[in-house]
Amino acid sequence: MKKAILSMIVAALPLLPLSSEAAGPVKIGFINSITGKEAQIGENLTNGAAMAVEDMTAKGFSVTVIKEDDGGDPKNALAAYEKLVTRDNVIGVVGPYTSGSANVVASRADQYNVPLLVPAAAKEEITRKGYKNVFRLNAPADVYSLVLMKAVAQYKPKTIAYVYAATDFGVSTVKTAQDNAVSMGLKEVANEKYQQGQPDYRATLAKVKAANPDLVFLVSYDADAILLMRQAKEIGLAPKAFLGAGAGYTTAQFAQQKDISNLVVSATQWTDDVNWPGAADFAKRYKAKFAKEPSYHAACAYEAMRIMIETSSKAGNASAVQQKLKSGSWNGIMGPVKFADYNGFNNQNNHPMLVQQLQGGKYETVYPAQFSKAKLVYPFKR
């Protein structure tokens, strides 16, 4: 009973300032990693969200976005959320970026009854705990391996080898990949976990080569991806396909290394050549404005911010925002968006992840067919 009263008061709080300044702009919050270890990716989110605010303002929406920095730390993210909902009286929050921060903030969203729209955090639990006020735009982590394997399933590969970094993301992604492989009838012929930052993976790769797999499934960060592919070329490892699940295979730097990265397949939330409405135009404007290629994080933040601005302007208070997010559907640069309950997820957008392949130094979307213009080159050749 006490809790119910409390939540009613909290829910009513945002209404107070609105009643006094009825015509004023709606207030929403944005939590992001502007400083700290994740700042490099955080910058993409900042840019994407800024573009969304600009576009929506141009369309006549009147909105105030209050930005908070969590420095990549869940503790700060929670403090930022609490400040936004209690002091600034925002009626919706976009963010935070990292899985760790988003997971912690999500656990408090129902207590304050202010909806949280997570743009790009992948940890599955965030939308698995039945929170009413937590919505997620991007696909969770298990979809990475699933979509990669679906993309090559029609070619009937028989064996698979795993080479991956000994990190949380590496180990858990390979675990879901193994489950998918079993259901596809793939036989595991090598499983090599490595510590990051080693100069020499040749012995490992020679061993994988000796097992002669059809598919090599890789999870690596940053420059390790380049190192592994270089040494794979030296050793002469040439499976039917290289499947890269981790961040290292989707960077512009990796694409530049044409002679080693060509035809590598990777999974991503968004590409600039996908045929979702406005995607290509967004990429063009983003490049012109920030002199950088937009990453999928930028697109996620743009779309999340756009949806939040549109919804909160129509709703006017937090609980109405929650209802409108739950019932609404959108179609923008991230494709069709609908927050649904399925497979144990709540308010999760069943976002179709994309599979891209490097073809001549450019990432081309190759799967699913209805979103792509290019075709997958299979088998892999040097």
Partner 1 sequence: MLFLQSLISGLLTGGVYALAGIGMSLVFGVMNVSNFAHGDLMMLGMYMAYFVFTLLHIDPYISLVLVMPAAFVFGYGLEKMFINRVIHHPHQNQILLTIGLGLIMSNTALLAFTSDPRILTTSYSSSSFNILRDVSVSVPLLLSFMITCVITATLYLFLGKSRTGMALRATSQNREAAQLMGINVSRMSAIAFGIGTALAATAGALIAPTYYIHPLAGHSFLLKSFTICVLGGLGSVVGATVGGLIIGVIEAMSSTYISTDWKDVVVFVLFLAVLLFRPQGLFGKKGGQ
Q: Which stretch binds partner 1 (CB under 8 A): 43-51, 254-262, 263-271, 334-342?
A: 254-262
Q: 102, 135 in Cβ contact below 8 A?
A: no
Task: Report in angstroms how near the CB of residue 171 gets to partner 1 at its nearest.
Answer: 11
Distance CA 36, CA 74 (A): 12
Using rule CB under 8 A, residue 379 touches partner 1: no
Q: Which of 94, 89, 68, 81 is nearest to 10 (CA)?
A: 89
Q: Which stretch binds partner 1 (CB under 8 A): 68-76, 142-150, 223-231, 337-345?
A: 223-231
Using rule CB under 8 A, residue 236 touches partner 1: yes
Q: Which is nearer to partner 1, 38 or 214 (CB)?
A: 38
Using rule CB under 8 A, residue 83 touches partner 1: no
Q: Which of 234, 276, 230 is nearest to 253 (CA)?
A: 230
Exposure string (b/e) for 40-59, b if CB count within 10 Å is 16 or more?
Answer: ebbbbbbbbbbbbbebbeee
Among the listed residues 233, 285, 326, 338, the single contact to partner 1 using CB under 8 A: 233
Among the listed residues 34, 227, 247, 300, the single contact to partner 1 using CB under 8 A: 227
Using rule CB under 8 A, residue 19 touches partner 1: no
Q: Which stretch binds partner 1 (CB under 8 A): 20-28, 122-130, 225-233, 332-340?
A: 225-233
Q: Which is nearer to partner 1, 129 or 193 (CB)?
A: 193
Q: Which is nearer to partner 1, 298 or 305 (CB)?
A: 298
Q: Which of residues 24-43 bind partner 1 (CB under 8 A)?
A: 40
Q: Which is nearer to partner 1, 184 or 211 (CB)?
A: 211
Q: Which is nearer to partner 1, 21 or 200 (CB)?
A: 200
Q: Which of residues 164-203 bind partner 1 (CB under 8 A)?
A: 166, 192-195, 197-203
Q: Which stretch binds partner 1 (CB under 8 A): 22-30, 58-66, 252-260, 326-334?
A: 252-260
Q: Which stretch binds partner 1 (CB under 8 A): 222-230, 327-335, 346-354, 360-368?
A: 222-230
Task: Report in angstroms how near the CB of residue 191 gets to partner 1 at its nearest.
Answer: 9
Number of CB atoms found within 10 A of residue 293's CB: 15
Q: Which of residues 260-279 bind partner 1 (CB under 8 A)?
A: 260
Task: Report in angstroms how near the CB of residue 272 gets to partner 1 at its nearest.
Answer: 21
For 18, half-sphere exposure in the C-beta direction (CA atoms, 13 angstrom radius) is 20
Among the listed residues 222, 328, 374, 378, the single contact to partner 1 using CB under 8 A: 222
Task: Report in angstroms how near the CB of residue 221 gets to partner 1 at its nearest.
Answer: 10
Q: Which of residues 338-367 bind partner 1 (CB under 8 A)?
A: none
Q: Which is nearer to partner 1, 250 or 372 (CB)?
A: 250
Q: What are the two backbone dihedrals, phi and then psi, of residue 211, each rounded to the nearest 5 degrees?
A: -80, -15
Task: Report in angstroms how near the CB of residue 58 gets to partner 1 at its nearest.
Answer: 33
Task: Kindly list the residues in this chain that would bind partner 1 in the complex (CB under 8 A).
Answer: 40, 166, 192-195, 197-204, 206-207, 210, 222-223, 226-227, 229-231, 233-236, 253, 257, 259-260
